[in-house]
A and B are shown apart, each in its own frame.
Chain A
Amino acid sequence: MNEQHHDQSPPPQRMRVSLFVTCLADLFRPSVAFASIKLLEQAGCEVMVPLRQTCCGQPAYNSGDYEATVPLAQQVIALLETADYVVVPSGSCAGMICHHYPKLLQGEWRDRALKLAAKTFELTVFLKDIARIEPQRNNPPSTLSVTYHDSCAGLREMSIKEQPRQLLRELCGIEINELEQNEVCCGFGGTFCAKMPEISGKMVNDKLDHALATGAKILAGGDLGCLLNIAGRAQRLGQEIEVRHIAELLSGDMDTSPIGEGR
């Protein structure tokens, strides 16, 4: 994870990866970032975490405040562009960097955004398709019944569909118990869920119903926004389903409490 580690055993072509933690993992779920680091190291990468990172700018951008987003996008680009690879444990933040920065910026900054986009990957895509992590046995046990929420940006902007399923199979021996209508939005939508709460409430309720109908004990996903939304709704209704980020499952971290469960 830092200088000391790779001094001990530096294989010749280790991939140098900068982790973009995402603000939600930083603030609400550090375990997601630690699990990501563990997985990337298992895949043979050297992981760095640029320390001056905050947020990719989605809240302002999705609300249409392009003026406020531009300097933030430039800050992220300047921070990450020297990396060989950038890995993001979130489909929507990866989508922001890969697709929306180049749309938002112009001139030289657009070129820099495109260069960064070319080497930025969502975590499961990177592990599966780029670093090609070897099948291995991480806990948790394969007997766990798990369903999966495909986040919209991950699915449609970053083409994430098979990678998390393959990784769960290869790393944990888990077969996903698919929920119905798994390509429909959970109602999070960033500020949408607070601006139009009743509609969002209906949508997350539907998502939770579909998840519960699978009988799965755990709902996993790759985007903390959606997961906080679904977990919060389950909490409100007193429904027993553990909501966890896929990085935690893949790394075998079952000691951390599920999202929204105190200890």
Chain B
Amino acid sequence: MEQHSDTFLDNASEALKNTGQAERRDKIALFASQIRTAAIDSFEGFDDLRHHVKKIRQHSLDNLDYYLSQFEKEAVHNGNQVHFARDSEEFNSLVLDICQQHDARRIAKGKSIVTEETGLNSFLQSAGLKVMETDLGEYIIQQAGETPSHIVSPALHKSANEIRELFQQKHDLGHRELQKTSDLVAEARNVLREHFLQAEVGVIGANALIAENGYSMLVTNEGNGDLCANLPKVLIICTTIDRVLPRAEDATAMSRLLARSATGQPHSCYTSFYSGPRREGEIDGPLETHFVLLDNERSNILSSDYREILECIRCGACLNHCPIYTSVGGHAYGSAYSGPIGSVLTPLLTSLEQSHLLPNACTSCGRCAEVCPANIPLPDLLRDLRHEEGIKKLSAPRWRYGLKLHSWLARHPSIYQTLTATSIRILHRLGRKRGGFSRLPFASGWTSQRDFPAPQENTFMQLYKAKMKQNNER
């Protein structure tokens, strides 16, 4: 997808101006954290399970080449074709080739953030194919011509009213008013049903690839993934190389963490395993199945200090609990991946030059790491990216030099204490009457939002030293 991470601050500012949307985001954030907490509190052994899954994910990534080739062998044995794509371009071309081999005109698509990453839809559309998103959220944003604002709930930013207006514009509704939310869902379902039946190719994602049997696992709440997979004659499963796990039981262990962390459900409504094309004697299922597995920098991430980010299971809990994400919403990040996971992944998948603001959209509050079912130290990774930002001199020079100066002073206690004692006395005198400053040179960021409280008259060090001197003289 097109990336707009370089304008994060403007995007965020724009998002904050829409106070109605901001209020809705606050409510959703509160609800999302409550349902997650409730699900995890009522599930004994969540922490044990997350340690268990973490070990499996680490082991899989440590032996990624082995498990990928095992998966490929088993999947081919099941009758699938397995393709590897180095980057988005290769990935999109592979998918288009498969569609063109079958003279496909219509594609029914389940939710796949990987295809958002590669910009698959616009690529296929520019080649003349009709792509229909079938996940309700994806369908809504496709109709609206927007991008996902959340990796799990792509249309989270849309209110029921906005969706109603959208359907009124885009659908031939006659006299139907779609008053209730359930009317909106029924409307989308009716429209989508036709597309499932007409599509020649189905495209879905995968939450896990299982090495031991060559299956893929997909969890959904709407069942649209299964219709995309089973009704069209060709199925293409799109995911990334880091999704592979050794055993089927590893995938189900992960899914127990996933649903609870994502939506507070013990399990998603549908957990589906795809083995391959229709076998002889079977009456349904696709005739041909393909796996298209994307690398796009992931091999490089694997050998970098950021490899833990590949252990992400895409639950979205870090988004729901990030005060920055919930303040500005997903679109501000200007990338398919938003929130803390997006702020780590986006610079790694694209470039730090384009997206160095994202790792700064963090107060190191640690809530993301606290809820992450994969135990990824997101604040540490974000800070490491800020380290790189400094080395590449991408951050504003006044910050870089200002902090260097501060550190230098802090390493010279005598100079530091003399200088601060004087500055604090001046600040105190200027600010004591009002109690603070509404404007201060070099602190416009602070004072744009709040006053700068005036300090007490002297520094502690001054007072303490004076007191010690007095005591010694006594």
**Residues of A in contact with B (beta carbons under 8 Å apart):** 1-2, 4, 21, 23, 25-31, 33-34, 49, 51-55, 57, 59-66, 68-69, 71-72, 75, 103, 152-153, 156-157, 181, 183-185, 187-204, 206, 228-229, 231-233, 235-236, 256-257, 259-263
Number of chain B residues close to chain A: CB under 8 A: 77
Give B383 Cβ to nearest chain A Cβ, in Å. 6
Report how far A184 CA is from B445 CA in the complex, Å.
22
The reply to whether the CB of B388 lies closer than 8 angstroms to some CB of chain A is: yes
Q: What are the 5 A-B residue pairs with the smallest beta carbon separation, nearest first?
A: A189-B363, A64-B386, A194-B445, A201-B449, A260-B453
Contact of A201 among B363, B431, B448, B453 (CB under 8 A): B448
Q: Which of A57, A64, A199, A262 contacts B387 (CB 8 A)?
A: A64
Q: Residue-by-residue, is B285-306 near A (CB-CB < 8 Å gives 1, otherwise 0)?
A: 0000000000000000000000
Interface residue ranges of B6-23 to A (CB < 8 Å): 9, 12-13, 16, 22
A235 vs B452: C-alpha distance when bound (angstroms): 9
Is B176 positioned at the interface, with any CB of A under 8 Å from its CB?
no
**Complex interface residues of chain B between 154 and 211 (CB less than 8 A to chain A):** none
Q: Is the CB–CB distance between A4 and B474 below 8 Å?
A: yes
Residues B428-474 near A (CB distance < 8 A): 431-436, 438, 443, 445-446, 448-456, 458-461, 463-465, 467-468, 471-472, 474
- Residues of B near A29 (CB, < 8 A) are 455-456
Contact of B406 among A59, A188, A260 (CB under 8 A): A59
Please tell me if the beta carbons of A199 and B328 are within 8 angstroms of each other in the complex: yes
Enumerate chain B residues within 8 angstroms of A4, measured Cβ to Cβ: 471-472, 474
- The interface residues of chain A lying within 8 Å CB-to-CB of B417 are 54
Which of B124-132, B256-264, B397-405 forms part of the interface with chain A?
B397-405
Contact among A27, A103, A198 for B420, CB-based, below 8 A: A27
Inter-chain contact B410/A187, CB cutoff 8 Å:
no
Are A51 and B461 neighbours in the complex by a CB distance under 8 Å? Answer: yes
**B283 interface residue (CB < 8 Å to A):** no
Residue of A at shortest CB range from B442?
A194
Q: Are A188 and B363 in contact (CB under 8 A)?
A: yes
B72 located at the interface, meaning its Cβ lies under 8 Å from any Cβ of chain A in the complex:
no
Which chain B residues border A152 with CB–CB below 8 Å?
Answer: 363-367
Provide the bound-state CA to CA distance between A248 and B294, in Å: 57
Q: Please tell me if the beta carbons of B384 and A64 are within 8 angstroms of each other in the complex.
A: yes
CB pair B471–A52 under 8 Å, yes or no, is no
B355 to chain A, nearest CB (A): 15
CB-CB < 8 A to B433: which residues of A? 262
A59, A68, A71 pick with most chain B CB within 10 angstroms = A68
* B431 close to A194 (CB less than 8 A): no
Question: Is A65 in contact with B413, judged by CB distance below 8 angstroms?
Answer: no
A-B contact count (CB 8 A): 221
* B380 beta carbon closer than 8 Å to chain A: yes
Q: Please state if B456 and A57 are interface contacts (CB–CB under 8 Å).
A: no
Cβ-defined contact, B366 with A153, below 8 A: yes
Q: For residue A231, give the distance in angstroms from its CB to the closest CB of chain B.
A: 5
The residue in chain B whose Cβ has the minimal distance to the Cβ of A238 is: B451
Interface residues of B (CB under 8 A from A): 9, 12-13, 16, 22, 26, 30, 323-324, 327-328, 360-367, 369-370, 380, 383-390, 395, 399-400, 403-404, 406-411, 413, 416-417, 420, 424, 431-436, 438, 443, 445-446, 448-456, 458-461, 463-465, 467-468, 471-472, 474
Q: Given the complex of chains A and B, what is the CA–CA distance between A64 and B379 in angstroms?
A: 11
Q: Looking at the complex, which one of B362, B454, B471 makes contact with A189 (CB distance below 8 Å)? A: B362
Residues on B with beta carbons closer than 8 Å to the beta carbon of A197: 445-446, 448-449
| Closest Cβ neighbor of B457 among chain A residues | A30
* Closest B residue, CB atoms, query A261: B435
Q: Can you sample 29 A-B contacts with CB below 8 Å?
A: A26-B420, A26-B459, A27-B420, A29-B456, A30-B460, A55-B406, A62-B386, A63-B399, A69-B407, A156-B365, A184-B367, A185-B363, A185-B365, A187-B363, A194-B445, A195-B360, A196-B12, A196-B324, A197-B446, A198-B9, A199-B327, A203-B327, A204-B449, A204-B450, A232-B450, A236-B449, A257-B435, A260-B435, A262-B454
Cα A256 to Cα B435 in complex, Å, equals 13
B434 lies within 8 A of A192 (CB): no
Interface residues of chain A: helix, strand, loop or mixed (majority):
helix
Query: CB-CB < 8 A to B367: which residues of A?
Result: 152, 156, 183-185
Neighbouring B residues of A66 by C-beta, 8 Å = 387
- Are A232 and B363 touching (Cβ within 8 A)? no
A31-B445 contact given A59-B406, A62-B383, A199-B12, CB 8 Å threshold:
no
Q: A103 and B445: CB pair below 8 A?
A: no
Min CB gap A157→B, angstroms: 7
**Contact A195 B399, beta carbon cutoff 8 Å:** yes
Q: Within the assembled complex, what's the spacing in Å between the Cα atoms of A153 and B370?
A: 12
User: Which residues of the other chain, B, contact A157 by a CB distance below 8 angstroms?
Assistant: 366
Verify B436–A232 contact, CB threshold 8 A. Answer: yes
Whether B360 contacts A196 by the Cβ 8 Å rule is yes
A235 contact from B22, B416, B435, Cβ within 8 A: B435
Q: Which residues of A contact B365 (CB under 8 A)?
A: 152, 156, 184-185, 189
Asked if A54 and B413 sit within 8 Å, CB to CB, the answer is: yes
Q: Are B471 and A2 in contact (CB under 8 A)?
A: yes
- Given A152-B365, A192-B363, A202-B16 in contact, is the A28-B420 Cβ separation under 8 Å? no
